[in-house]
Amino acid sequence: MISTIVRTLSRVPIPLRSLAVCVACEECFELGDPTCPSCGSDEYVPLLHQLEGRILNMTSNN
């Protein structure tokens, strides 16, 4: 039963604009929480911000 729920939830689309990456443990979580639900750290970076920087670096190198 739990594996069925996990598979179902893993297919739920989550906009990148609403995700953050914890600096301490590198877990992704939804923005809006004041701390990382995994480790409790309050240091995080919006995921889209991270991806935009990498995409810009990739395109400027070509």
8 A C-beta contact, residue 28 and residue 49: no
d(CA 62, CA 48) in angstroms, rounded, equals 22
Is the distance from CB of 37 to CB of 30 less than 8 angstroms? no
For residue 9, the model assigns a pLDDT of 53
Q: pTM to 2 decimals? A: 0.60
Tens of pLDDT along 2-60?
445 445 555 667 777 888 889 999 888 888 889 999 999 999 988 887 776 655 455 55
d(CA 45, CA 6): 25
Cite the beta strand spans of 1-62 per DSSP E.
19-22, 28-30, 44-46
Domain boundaries, the chain: 16-60
Q: Which residue type sits at 48?
A: L
**Sorting pLDDT into bands at 50, 70 and 90, what band is 1?**
very low
Q: Return the pLDDT at 14.
A: 73
Report pLDDT for 2: 44
